Structure 1
């Protein structure tokens, strides 16, 4: 399979995921500004999830630039990642519709952790095919600190769910935001 075919499929799945998420925002029946207030948790959940999926898309794009050939391990790892990402709209919808109730936050956190694990598996599958002394391999391995911080932020969101759900939402947002700015060293290594 060509890299372009896998990348096109992945882009299509991610576009559908975002489309499904926005369709979860139901139009209110009233025309008053107050009619929008019940949608605030749904919209916040959508914003967090849109950012999350968008960042995965960008990092996935950078990661696939390192690939020369697609093997079965990379293909299956990519499908594994897409599976977990495809559950984000469900978890985001449940969390938003239920105003960030604890169980919905816990499910969302579990899915975020599984998405992170799946991305790590994909990255490791790709790294195995590269020269271990190359700049890109060295730079990708340096991201382990951000990975640990991300996991800790998501795990911290779980206990907050029981007494301050807004803090859980803020931690989910922060977890995504630390990945928002692309690592300049990785971009430089990709150019080399």
Structure 2
């Protein structure tokens, strides 16, 4: 399989996932400022998931730009990444309706953690291909934050189970803000 075919497939699946996210938003009846405000949790969950997927897509675009070859490990890690990403509309809908439910928050956190894990495996598989080594060295060096990212996600899963269910959602927001700060400084290309 060519790199271009896998990238096109990944782009298409991500675009579909992002589109389904917006289709799951509730429509207020009647449409008033008050009824829109009542849906703030749904809008927050939607924005969180949309931008999480968007960050992943931007990083994939940057990381794959100069990749020369792929192999079956890359294809399968990408497939698992997309599989877990396809749960975003479902778990986002659950979070928007049950933001203080620890089972829902943990489910959301597990999906986020699975996406992060397979994203990392995908990049490691790309870097292991000899033709990609030179291009991936710089990109992988910029991903030194990943162990901290995973540690924060695991910690917040524990906090969601034991103390404060929305901890997962807020940690995702915290991590995204951190990404924004790092990206703004040119460290997260």
Distance 1:186 1:140, change over 3 A: farther
Distance 2:122 2:83 in 1: 12
Partner of 2:39: 39
Distance 1:139 1:14, change over 3 A: closer
- Report Cα offsets for 1:14-57 as digits up to 9, x if no partner: 01111111111111112332212331111111111111100110
- Report Cα offsets for 1:124-165 as digits up to 9, x if no partner: 110011468736415414523x11221122223224435444
RMSD: 2.3
- Report Cα offsets for 1:46-104 as digits up to 9, x if no partner: 11111110011011111212321232221112111111111111111111111342111
Moved more, 150-159 or 132-141: 132-141
Partner of 2:152: 153
SS in 2 for 1:150: helix
1:4-153 matches, within 5 Å, as 4-130=4-130, 134=134, 136-144=136-144, 146-153=145-152
Distance 2:188 2:32 in 1: 48
TM-score, normalised via structure 2 length: 0.86
Distance 2:135 2:4 in 1: 23
Distance 1:135 1:7 in 2: 17
| Shift >6 Å, 4+ stretches | none
Distance 1:132 1:12, change over 3 A: closer
Distance 2:133 2:127 in 1: 11
Distance 1:92 1:47 in 2: 10
TM-score, normalised via structure 1 length: 0.85
- How much has 1:174 moved relative to structure 2? 1.5
Any unmatched runs of 5+ in structure 1?
188-192
